[in-house]
A and B are shown apart, each in its own frame.
Chain A
Amino acid sequence: ETGVTQSPTHLIKTRGQQVTLRCSSQSGHNTVSWYQQALGQGPQFIFQYYREEENGRGNFPPRFSGLQFPNYSSELNVNALELDDSALYLCASSSRTGFTDTQYFGPGTRLTVL
Protein backbone atom coordinates (compact mmCIF):
# COMPACT_ATOMS: atom_id res chain seq x y z
CA GLU A 1 0.00 0.00 0.00
CA THR A 2 1.15 3.52 -0.82
CA GLY A 3 -0.26 5.35 2.18
CA VAL A 4 -2.32 7.60 -0.10
CA THR A 5 -5.96 7.56 0.95
CA GLN A 6 -9.03 8.91 -0.80
CA SER A 7 -12.61 9.46 0.26
CA PRO A 8 -15.29 8.62 -0.44
CA THR A 9 -14.85 5.33 -2.29
CA HIS A 10 -17.98 5.71 -4.36
CA LEU A 11 -20.29 8.62 -5.00
CA ILE A 12 -23.49 9.10 -6.96
CA LYS A 13 -24.60 12.59 -7.97
CA THR A 14 -27.06 14.09 -10.39
CA ARG A 15 -26.29 16.42 -13.25
CA GLY A 16 -25.78 20.00 -12.16
CA GLN A 17 -24.73 19.16 -8.61
CA GLN A 18 -21.37 19.87 -7.04
CA VAL A 19 -18.97 17.32 -5.55
CA THR A 20 -15.88 17.37 -3.33
CA LEU A 21 -13.36 14.54 -3.31
CA ARG A 22 -10.63 14.23 -0.72
CA CYS A 23 -7.08 12.90 -0.69
CA SER A 24 -4.48 12.42 2.01
CA SER A 25 -0.93 12.21 0.73
CA GLN A 26 1.75 9.79 1.75
CA SER A 27 3.86 10.82 4.72
CA GLY A 28 6.75 13.02 3.61
CA HIS A 29 5.14 13.98 0.30
CA ASN A 30 4.34 17.62 -0.44
CA THR A 31 2.85 17.42 -3.94
CA VAL A 32 -0.56 16.14 -4.92
CA SER A 33 -1.81 15.47 -8.44
CA TRP A 34 -5.32 14.60 -9.58
CA TYR A 35 -6.26 12.45 -12.55
CA GLN A 36 -9.56 11.49 -14.19
CA GLN A 37 -9.87 8.01 -15.61
CA ALA A 38 -12.89 7.31 -17.82
CA LEU A 39 -13.92 3.72 -18.31
CA GLY A 40 -11.50 1.87 -20.56
CA GLN A 41 -9.10 4.80 -20.82
CA GLY A 42 -5.83 5.84 -19.28
CA PRO A 43 -5.80 8.48 -16.53
CA GLN A 44 -5.88 12.11 -17.69
CA PHE A 45 -4.03 14.79 -15.72
CA ILE A 46 -6.32 17.38 -14.14
CA PHE A 47 -3.95 19.48 -12.03
CA GLN A 48 -1.18 19.43 -9.49
CA TYR A 49 -0.77 21.22 -6.16
CA TYR A 50 2.48 22.13 -4.47
CA ARG A 51 2.76 24.25 -1.33
CA GLU A 52 -0.95 24.94 -1.40
CA GLU A 53 -0.89 26.39 -4.92
CA GLU A 54 -1.88 24.98 -8.28
CA ASN A 55 1.33 24.72 -10.27
CA GLY A 56 0.15 22.84 -13.35
CA ARG A 57 -3.12 22.07 -15.08
CA GLY A 58 -4.34 19.80 -17.85
CA ASN A 59 -7.15 20.42 -20.34
CA PHE A 60 -9.98 20.63 -17.88
CA PRO A 61 -12.49 23.50 -17.55
CA PRO A 62 -12.49 25.90 -14.58
CA ARG A 63 -15.40 24.08 -12.95
CA PHE A 64 -12.70 21.61 -11.86
CA SER A 65 -10.91 23.26 -8.97
CA GLY A 66 -8.84 22.18 -6.04
CA LEU A 67 -7.22 22.99 -2.76
CA GLN A 68 -4.18 21.82 -0.89
CA PHE A 69 -3.94 22.23 2.87
CA PRO A 70 -0.91 22.87 5.11
CA ASN A 71 -0.76 19.16 5.94
CA TYR A 72 -0.52 18.50 2.14
CA SER A 73 -3.90 16.83 1.92
CA SER A 74 -6.03 17.97 -0.99
CA GLU A 75 -9.54 18.37 -2.32
CA LEU A 76 -10.91 18.20 -5.83
CA ASN A 77 -14.11 20.14 -6.43
CA VAL A 78 -16.27 19.77 -9.49
CA ASN A 79 -19.16 22.17 -10.07
CA ALA A 80 -22.12 21.82 -12.41
CA LEU A 81 -21.61 18.12 -12.89
CA GLU A 82 -22.10 16.67 -16.34
CA LEU A 83 -22.76 13.08 -17.35
CA ASP A 84 -19.25 12.87 -18.86
CA ASP A 85 -17.74 13.58 -15.45
CA SER A 86 -18.57 10.00 -14.49
CA ALA A 87 -15.16 8.42 -13.96
CA LEU A 88 -12.62 7.14 -11.48
CA TYR A 89 -10.78 10.06 -9.88
CA LEU A 90 -7.27 9.24 -8.78
CA CYS A 91 -5.07 11.20 -6.47
CA ALA A 92 -1.30 10.80 -6.48
CA SER A 93 1.29 12.13 -4.08
CA SER A 94 4.98 12.72 -4.64
CA SER A 95 7.90 14.51 -3.12
CA ARG A 96 8.92 17.55 -5.09
CA THR A 97 12.67 17.28 -5.07
CA GLY A 98 12.86 17.64 -8.82
CA PHE A 99 11.14 16.21 -11.82
CA THR A 100 12.24 12.69 -11.18
CA ASP A 101 9.82 11.94 -8.46
CA THR A 102 7.50 9.01 -8.70
CA GLN A 103 3.81 9.58 -8.15
CA TYR A 104 2.11 7.11 -5.84
CA PHE A 105 -1.60 6.67 -6.32
CA GLY A 106 -4.50 6.21 -3.98
CA PRO A 107 -7.37 3.76 -4.51
CA GLY A 108 -9.54 6.32 -6.27
CA THR A 109 -13.07 7.64 -5.94
CA ARG A 110 -15.60 6.35 -8.42
CA LEU A 111 -18.05 9.11 -9.33
CA THR A 112 -21.28 8.36 -11.12
CA VAL A 113 -23.32 11.26 -12.49
CA LEU A 114 -26.94 10.50 -13.34
Chain B
Amino acid sequence: AQKVTQAQTEISVVEKEDVTLDCVYETRDTTYYLFWYKQPPSGELVFLIRRNSFDEQNEISGRYSWNFQKSTSSFNFTITASQVVDSAVYFCALSEANTGFQKLVFGTGTRLLVSP
Protein backbone atom coordinates (compact mmCIF):
# COMPACT_ATOMS: atom_id res chain seq x y z
CA ALA B 1 0.00 0.00 0.00
CA GLN B 2 1.09 3.52 -0.66
CA LYS B 3 1.93 5.73 2.27
CA VAL B 4 3.60 9.10 2.78
CA THR B 5 4.93 10.14 6.17
CA GLN B 6 5.76 13.69 7.14
CA ALA B 7 6.90 13.32 10.72
CA GLN B 8 7.38 17.03 11.34
CA THR B 9 4.02 18.52 12.26
CA GLU B 10 5.21 22.09 12.66
CA ILE B 11 8.53 23.88 12.26
CA SER B 12 9.26 27.43 13.40
CA VAL B 13 12.26 29.34 12.10
CA VAL B 14 13.44 32.90 11.97
CA GLU B 15 13.78 34.60 8.62
CA LYS B 16 16.98 33.76 6.70
CA GLU B 17 17.39 30.42 8.40
CA ASP B 18 17.60 27.30 6.25
CA VAL B 19 14.94 24.65 6.88
CA THR B 20 14.47 21.07 5.68
CA LEU B 21 11.11 19.36 5.47
CA ASP B 22 11.24 15.58 5.60
CA CYS B 23 9.21 13.14 3.53
CA VAL B 24 9.35 9.34 3.67
CA TYR B 25 7.26 7.21 1.36
CA GLU B 26 6.23 3.59 0.96
CA THR B 27 5.30 1.90 -2.28
CA ARG B 28 5.58 -1.54 -3.86
CA ASP B 29 5.66 -0.13 -7.36
CA THR B 30 8.93 0.42 -9.22
CA THR B 31 7.52 3.32 -11.23
CA TYR B 32 6.09 6.16 -9.22
CA TYR B 33 6.09 9.91 -8.93
CA LEU B 34 6.74 12.19 -6.00
CA PHE B 35 5.43 15.70 -5.56
CA TRP B 36 5.63 18.64 -3.22
CA TYR B 37 2.78 21.12 -2.87
CA LYS B 38 2.51 24.31 -0.84
CA GLN B 39 -0.76 25.31 0.82
CA PRO B 40 -0.87 28.94 1.96
CA PRO B 41 -3.67 30.12 4.28
CA SER B 42 -5.87 30.77 1.24
CA GLY B 43 -6.20 26.99 0.88
CA GLU B 44 -5.14 26.44 -2.72
CA LEU B 45 -2.51 23.75 -3.24
CA VAL B 46 0.39 25.16 -5.23
CA PHE B 47 2.51 22.71 -7.21
CA LEU B 48 6.24 22.95 -6.50
CA ILE B 49 7.94 19.92 -8.02
CA ARG B 50 7.42 16.49 -9.57
CA ARG B 51 10.06 13.79 -9.63
CA ASN B 52 9.85 10.29 -11.14
CA SER B 53 11.34 7.20 -9.55
CA PHE B 54 14.02 6.83 -12.20
CA ASP B 55 15.48 10.28 -11.71
CA GLU B 56 17.42 10.58 -8.48
CA GLN B 57 19.16 13.78 -9.41
CA ASN B 58 18.72 16.50 -6.86
CA GLU B 59 17.04 19.64 -8.08
CA ILE B 60 17.47 23.28 -7.21
CA SER B 61 15.07 26.06 -8.06
CA GLY B 62 16.04 29.38 -6.58
CA ARG B 63 15.92 29.06 -2.80
CA TYR B 64 14.27 25.64 -3.05
CA SER B 65 16.08 22.33 -3.37
CA TRP B 66 15.00 18.72 -3.25
CA ASN B 67 16.94 15.61 -2.25
CA PHE B 68 15.55 12.31 -3.57
CA GLN B 69 17.09 9.12 -2.17
CA LYS B 70 15.53 5.82 -3.21
CA SER B 71 17.76 3.88 -0.80
CA THR B 72 16.01 5.52 2.15
CA SER B 73 12.67 6.18 0.40
CA SER B 74 12.96 9.86 1.15
CA PHE B 75 12.23 13.02 -0.79
CA ASN B 76 13.26 15.95 1.38
CA PHE B 77 12.70 19.62 0.66
CA THR B 78 15.04 22.40 1.75
CA ILE B 79 14.32 26.11 1.75
CA THR B 80 17.44 28.22 1.92
CA ALA B 81 17.32 31.67 3.52
CA SER B 82 13.66 31.34 4.46
CA GLN B 83 11.30 34.28 4.12
CA VAL B 84 8.03 35.17 5.82
CA VAL B 85 6.20 34.43 2.56
CA ASP B 86 7.34 30.81 2.86
CA SER B 87 4.98 30.35 5.80
CA ALA B 88 2.49 27.69 4.74
CA VAL B 89 1.66 24.02 5.06
CA TYR B 90 3.78 21.85 2.79
CA PHE B 91 2.58 18.48 1.53
CA CYS B 92 4.56 15.65 0.05
CA ALA B 93 2.58 13.30 -2.22
CA LEU B 94 3.05 10.01 -4.09
CA SER B 95 1.45 8.75 -7.28
CA GLU B 96 1.88 5.22 -8.61
CA ALA B 97 1.86 4.41 -12.31
CA ASN B 98 0.08 1.05 -12.26
CA THR B 99 -3.35 2.01 -10.98
CA GLY B 100 -4.85 3.07 -14.30
CA PHE B 101 -5.60 6.50 -12.98
CA GLN B 102 -3.76 9.36 -11.35
CA LYS B 103 -4.26 9.24 -7.60
CA LEU B 104 -2.19 11.36 -5.27
CA VAL B 105 -1.55 10.03 -1.78
CA PHE B 106 -0.62 12.87 0.54
CA GLY B 107 1.22 13.05 3.81
CA THR B 108 -0.30 14.92 6.72
CA GLY B 109 1.72 18.02 5.94
CA THR B 110 4.29 20.15 7.74
CA ARG B 111 3.33 23.62 8.87
CA LEU B 112 6.21 26.04 8.42
CA LEU B 113 6.16 29.29 10.37
CA VAL B 114 8.77 31.86 9.40
CA SER B 115 8.96 34.82 11.72
CA PRO B 116 10.66 38.14 10.94
Contacts and interface: CB of A to CB of B under 8 A. Distances in A.
Contact of A42 (B33, B47, B107): B107
A42 B106 contact: yes
Interface string A64-100: 0000000000000000000000001010101010011
Nearest to B43: A108
Interface residues of B, number: 29
A110 interface: yes
Interface in B85-116: 91, 93, 95-97, 99-109
A42 B103 contact: no
A48 B101 contact: yes
B63 interface: no
A89 to B, nearest CB: 10
Contacts of B107: 42
A25 interface: no
A24 interface: no
A100 to B, nearest CB: 6
Contacts of A100: 33, 50, 52, 97
B45 A99 contact: no
Interface band, chain A: 20 to 34
A56 B45 contact: no
Nearest to A48: B101
A96 to B, nearest CB: 8
A43 B104 contact: yes
Nearest to A35: B104
A90 B33 contact: no
A56 B43 contact: no
B12 to A, nearest CB: 17
Given A42-B109, A102-B47, 11 more contacts: A42-B108, A48-B101, A56-B99, A90-B45, A92-B45, A99-B31, A99-B102, A101-B102, A102-B50, A105-B46, A107-B42
Interface of B: 4, 31, 33, 35, 37, 42-47, 50, 52, 91, 93, 95-97, 99-109
24 contacts: A35-B104, A42-B93, A42-B107, A45-B104, A45-B105, A50-B101, A55-B100, A55-B101, A92-B104, A94-B102, A99-B31, A99-B33, A100-B33, A100-B50, A102-B35, A102-B47, A103-B104, A105-B37, A105-B44, A105-B47, A107-B42, A107-B44, A108-B43, A110-B43
